């Protein structure tokens, strides 16, 4: 199944491949179906369809000069490129490009940890370094810094940050792009640029002062296609001496409002790690009477049944990093603040452990209360444990999640905002005639310190035939449209949905997209760097906008 | 001992020494492959397919748990305990993926690294089998 880049004939493609082989060596240029199979999205909605975004070739440089030469060759031969780091952006397209026939620039071999400083608390890494690699590097050297890992942890700090990925420790570090400090980029003409203090050749503060001088273009390289990032610095959290957690529950449905307001206060004082919200009432969803009340959003009846079951409506688990004394003082203060806002709140002390936790302590789940929290990631320990959710299970021993996709929308960070979003999601499900789970008990994730993201409990049909996948993708698009009507914007998307998500950010006749595309056409006139990524289409490939919808 | 007989014996001794040296060199190469394979396995495969417990109270890691469901006791779920995994078999799963395990690219795992992993798994599974027979 030979695929050619769009508008490129076989002769020109063969010449381009020969050039790529000269640049990186023939053993690192891949063109056979067998070799290219791992460059497809394993969870694609378009698997084996005529418009599945499959690359025509892949090329694996191991140093920045090779990346520059690849970009120059792509301009010469008019070949669209698509850069990946570790290629593990599953649920958001994996390693697959936006344009079928692109040449994938696989940066995995650029896997050097260039520096970790545990006195000034930063790292400088190449794109092929994974979170597991960086964690191992730090542990092997006994350095006193933590990483902030996504879950699972096989991805790349560079790639994850460039898709606005998130983690689970203190707020500043959870925003992986926000915690970056300085990057090196191969521009679409092959020139090498450094941002922040990296622009000053003699500076020794590249990973300490992000802004440098003048406009900082770093944001253009996240969810964009303005260059290929070849190095990136990250601020790292110093290893704390102690960790403590605790559980707070509040009895009534409307108590969510003062609870969130109070937790926001603590969050924005930088007093707590990630708060984990939930609802103890989920255990009542097997009860028909309660489920029907929840389906009607009958708050009075839900409160009555919760009280009858001696259950509280909401919970939040807080965690504290510091010393034994400061974490205790902050927990006591947290209790005081919530008790002032919700006098009927209950508090359960969690665990109080010196850091680093032992492996046994990380895996311990029989704490003072049932927890939803994944403790390894709150301790900056990467793993693949969470991957269980995509695979075989006792309930589905011969099935797996073949269209694993993430859909999380930013909703207002307030109790009112959450309660409204629950009703909106339920209405959307009803209108689309798809099952809706637990919407009345849906809670936000506070991955970003100042943002609530909510994934609706929609039951997307698990029909993995091509027609079934098409229907499911259409449902996802309808959900995005309906969400946007309520101001809920998706934070991240796979290539099949990137045009749809970008369409929702349409203020003033899509001026943001027009601004991006004006810039794109100016610095990448041939449109060779990742055309279509983030819904940004250069003129040379503008006819491909929406091509993955069909 | 005649001179001719001495020569034959000396020749045989030197051939034995050469075979022995070659054998030792091969053994060293095998040991190095097993060591490399162990390191690569622990880095790349064990986070999903390891013998250890899963997190959050799960009994097994996800790959091991999935194979336990698949084999229902007919085969050991942990790859380090599983005999007969040739390099070609491992390569087929690595390059194609299986269920929710995505395929891995040559830039992540080269063919030689897969050979090394096969060498390590042969040793680890033999040791596991010997241990279970004791």
Query: What are the angstrom distances between the C-alpha of A158 and each of A16, A120, A149, B59?
Result: 28, 20, 12, 32
Q: pLDDT tens digits for A258-293?
A: 999 999 999 999 999 999 999 999 999 999 999 999
Q: pLDDT tens digits for B44-93?
A: 999 999 998 888 888 999 999 999 999 999 999 999 999 999 999 999 99
Q: pLDDT tens digits for A110-167?
A: 999 999 999 999 999 999 999 999 999 999 999 999 999 999 999 999 999 999 999 9
pLDDT bin (cut points 50, 70, 90) of residue B4 is: low
Residue by residue, DSSP assigns A291-314 as HHHHHTT-HHHHHHHHHHTT--SE
Q: Closest by alpha carbon to B34, among B118, B112, B131, B106?
A: B118
Q: How many CB atoms lie within 10 A of CB A260?
A: 28
Q: Which fold has domain A10-108?
A: 3.30.43
Separation in Å, CA of B38 to nearest CA in chain A:
16
The residue extents of the domains of chain A are: 10-108, 110-238, 242-355, 409-491, 502-544
| pLDDT score at B9 | 63
Separation in Å, CA of B7 to nearest CA in chain A:
50
Contact B100 A384 (CB under 8 A): no
Average pLDDT taken over every residue of chain A: 95
For residue A355, pLDDT over 70 is answered with yes
Q: What is the rounded CA–CA span in Å between residue A353 and residue A370?
A: 17
Q: pLDDT tens digits for A305-352?
A: 999 999 999 999 999 999 999 999 999 999 999 999 999 999 999 999
Q: Closest by alpha carbon to A78, among A528, A550, A541?
A: A528
pLDDT bin (cut points 50, 70, 90) of residue B105 is: very high
Asked if residue B35 lies in contact with residue B113, where contact means CB atoms within 8 angstroms, the answer is: no
| pLDDT score at B134 | 56
**More confident call, A61 vs A437:** A61
| pLDDT score at B84 | 94
pLDDT bin (cut points 50, 70, 90) of residue A456 is: low
CATH number of the domain located at residue range(s) B31-133 in this protein: 1.10.760.10
For residue A76, pLDDT over 90 is answered with yes
Q: What is the rounded CA–CA span in Å between residue B52 and residue B79?
A: 12
| pLDDT score at A386 | 93
Q: What is the rounded CA–CA span in Å between residue A188 and residue A81?
A: 10
Contact B62 A388 (CB under 8 A): yes
**Token pair in block for residue B124:** 């680890």
For residue A455, pLDDT over 90 is answered with no
For residue B16, pLDDT over 50 is answered with yes
For residue A2, pLDDT over 90 is answered with no
Separation in Å, CA of A364 to nearest CA in chain B:
7
Q: pLDDT tens digits for A207-253?
A: 999 999 999 999 999 999 999 999 999 999 999 999 999 999 999 99
In CATH terms, is domain A242-355 a member of 3.40.462.10?
Answer: yes
Q: What is the rounded CA–CA span in Å between residue A531 and residue A537?
A: 6
| pLDDT score at A462 | 81
Q: Find the range with the poorest average confidence among A175-189, A390-404, A512-526, B84-98.
A: A390-404
**More confident call, A407 vs A28:** A28
DSSP state of A175: B
pLDDT bin (cut points 50, 70, 90) of residue B1 is: very low
Query: What are the angstrom distances between the C-alpha of A295 and each of A250, A252, A299, A418?
Result: 21, 17, 10, 16
Provide CB contacts within 8 A for A134, sequence distance 6+: A113, A116, A123, A125, A147, A157
Q: Is the ipTM of this complex over 0.90?
A: yes
Residues of B with CB under 8 A from a CB of A: 43, 47-48, 53-58, 61-63, 65-66, 69-70, 95-97, 99-108
Which A residues in the span 78-137 are in contact with B, Cβ-Cβ below 8 Å? 86-88, 90, 94-95, 106, 108-109, 128, 132, 136
Q: Assign residue A25 a region (left: φ > 0; alpha: ψ between -120 and 50; beta: otherwise).
A: left
For residue A542, pLDDT over 60 is answered with yes
Separation in Å, CA of A60 to nearest CA in chain B:
7
pLDDT bin (cut points 50, 70, 90) of residue B19 is: low
Average pLDDT taken over every residue of chain B: 88
Separation in Å, CA of B84 to nearest CA in chain A:
23
Give A502-544's CATH code, choosing from 2.40.50.140, 3.40.30.10, 1.10.45.10, 3.40.190.10: 1.10.45.10
**More confident call, A323 vs B131:** A323
Asked if residue B114 lies in contact with residue B90, where contact means CB atoms within 8 angstroms, the answer is: yes
Label residue A193 exposed, middle or buried (CB < 10 Å: 0-12, 13-18, 19+). Answer: middle
Which A residues in the span 338-377 are in contact with B, Cβ-Cβ below 8 Å? 362-363, 365-366, 374-376
Provide CB contacts within 8 A for A466, sequence distance 6+: A47, A48, A49
Provide CB contacts within 8 A for A482, sequence distance 6+: A424, A428, A431
For residue B7, pLDDT over 70 is answered with no
Q: Which chain A residue has the Cα nearest residue B104?
A: A38
Q: What is the rounded CA–CA span in Å between residue A549 and residue A531?
A: 16
Q: What is the rounded CA–CA span in Å between residue B46 and residue A49?
A: 34
From chain B, the residues in CB contact with A393 under 8 A are: 69
Strand order through the sheet with A81-84:
A29-30, A57-59, A103-106, A81-84
From chain B, the residues in CB contact with A60 under 8 A are: 106-107
Q: Which of helix, strand or coil describes residue A112?
A: coil
Q: Name the class of domain A110-238.
A: alpha beta
> Which of B58, B70, B96 shows the shortest C-beta gap to A37?
B96
Residue % of chain A over a pLDDT of 70: 99
> Which of B58, B100, B104 shows the shortest C-beta gap to A401?
B100
For residue B2, pLDDT over 70 is answered with no
Query: What are the backbone angles phi and psi of residue A186, rounded to the nearest 5°?
Result: -85, 115
Query: What are the backbone angles phi and psi of residue A286, rounded to the nearest 5°?
Result: -80, -10
Label residue B29 exposed, middle or buried (CB < 10 Å: 0-12, 13-18, 19+). Answer: exposed
Q: Assign residue A227 a region (left: φ > 0; alpha: ψ between -120 and 50; beta: otherwise).
A: left
For residue A256, pLDDT over 50 is answered with yes
Q: Closest by alpha carbon to A421, among A450, A449, A458, A447?
A: A458
From chain A, the residues in CB contact with B50 under 8 A are: none
Q: Which residues of B42-71 are buried (b: 16+ CB within 10 A; e: fewer)?
A: eebbbbbbbbebbbbebebbbbbbbbbbbe
Q: pLDDT tens digits for A494-535?
A: 999 999 999 999 999 999 999 999 999 999 999 999 999 999
Residues A24-32 have a mean pLDDT of 98
């Amino acid at each position: 199944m030979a695929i050619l880049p769009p508008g490129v004939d076989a002769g020109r493609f063969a010449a381009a491949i020969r050039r790529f082989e000269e640049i990186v060596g023939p053993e690192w240029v891949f063109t056979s179906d067998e070799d290219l199979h791992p460059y497809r999205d394993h969870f694609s909605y378009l698997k084996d369809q005529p418009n599945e975004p499959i690359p025509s070739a892949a090329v694996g440089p191991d140093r920045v000069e090779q990346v520059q030469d690849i970009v120059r060759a792509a301009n010469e031969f008019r070949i669209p490129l698509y850069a990946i780091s570790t290629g593990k952006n599953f649920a958001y397209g994996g390693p697959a490009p936006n344009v079928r026939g692109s040449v994938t620039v696989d940066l995995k071999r650029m896997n050097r940890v260039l520096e970790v400083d545990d006195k000034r608390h930063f790292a400088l890494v190449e794109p092929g370094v994974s979170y597991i690699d960086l964690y191992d590097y730090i542990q092997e050297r006994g350095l006193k810094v933590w990483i902030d890992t996504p879950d699972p942890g096989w991805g790349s700090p560079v790639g994850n940050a460039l898709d606005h990925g998130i983690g689970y420790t203190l707020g500043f570090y959870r925003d992986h792009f926000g915690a970056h400090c300085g990057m090196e980029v191969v521009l679409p003409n092959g020139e090498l640029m450094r941002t922040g203090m990296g622009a000053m050749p003699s500076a020794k503060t590249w990973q300490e002062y992000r802004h440098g001088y003048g406009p900082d273009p770093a944001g253009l390289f996240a969810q964009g296609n303005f260059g290929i990032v070849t190095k990136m610095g990250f601020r790292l959290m110093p290893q704390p001496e102690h960790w403590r957690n605790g559980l707070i529950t509040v009895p009534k449905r409307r108590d969510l409002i003062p609870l969130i307001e109070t937790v926001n206060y603590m969050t924005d004082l930088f007093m707590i790690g990630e708060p984990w919200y939930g609802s103890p009432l989920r255990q009542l969803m097997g009860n028909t009477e309660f489920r029907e009340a929840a389906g009607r959003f009958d708050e009075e009846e839900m409160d009555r049944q919760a009280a009858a079951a001696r259950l509280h409506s909401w919970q939040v688990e807080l965690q504290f990093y510091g010393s034994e004394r400061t974490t205790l003082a902050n927990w006591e203060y947290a209790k005081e603040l919530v008790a002032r806002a919700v006098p009927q709140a209950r508090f359960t002390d969690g665990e109080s452990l010196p850091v680093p936790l032992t492996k046994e302590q990380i895996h311990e789940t029989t704490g003072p209360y049932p927890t939803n929290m994944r403790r390894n990631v709150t301790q900056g320990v990467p793993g693949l444990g969470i991957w269980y959710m995509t695979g075989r299970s006792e309930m589905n021993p011969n099935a797996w999640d073949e269209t694993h996709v993430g859909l999380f929308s930013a909703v207002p960070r307030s109790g009112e905002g959450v309660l409204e979003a629950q009703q909106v999601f339920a209405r959307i499900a009803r209108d689309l005639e798809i099952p809706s789970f637990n919407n009345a008990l849906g809670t936000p994730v506070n991955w970003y310190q100042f943002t609530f993201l909510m994934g609706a409990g929609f039951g997307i049909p698990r029909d993995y035939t091509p027609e079934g996948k098409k229907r499911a993708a259409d449902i996802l698009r309808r959900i995005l449209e309906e969400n946007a009507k309520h101001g809920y914007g998706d934070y991240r998307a796979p290539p099949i949905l990137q045009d749809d998500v970008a369409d929702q950010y349409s203020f003033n006749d899509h001026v943001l997209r027009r601004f991006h595309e004006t810039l794109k056409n100016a610095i990448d006139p041939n449109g060779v760097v990742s055309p279509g990524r983030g819904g940004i289409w250069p003129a040379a490939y503008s006819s491909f906008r929406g091509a993955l919808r069909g | 001992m005649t001179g001719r007989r001495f020569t034959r014996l000396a020749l045989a001794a030197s051939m034995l020494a050469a075979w022995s040296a070659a054998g030792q060199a091969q053994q060293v190469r095998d040991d190095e492959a097993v060591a490399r394979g162990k390191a690569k396995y622990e880095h790349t495969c064990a986070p999903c397919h390891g013998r250890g417990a899963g997190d959050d109270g799960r009994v097994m890691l996800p790959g091991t748990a999935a194979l336990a469901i698949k084999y229902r006791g007919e085969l050991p779920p942990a790859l380090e305990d599983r005999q007969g995994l040739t390099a070609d078999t491992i390569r087929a799963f690595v390059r194609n993926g299986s269920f929710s395990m995505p395929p891995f690219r040559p830039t992540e795992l080269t063919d030689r690294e897969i050979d090394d992993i096969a060498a390590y798994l042969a040793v680890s599974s033999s040791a596991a089998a010997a241990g279970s027979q004791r």
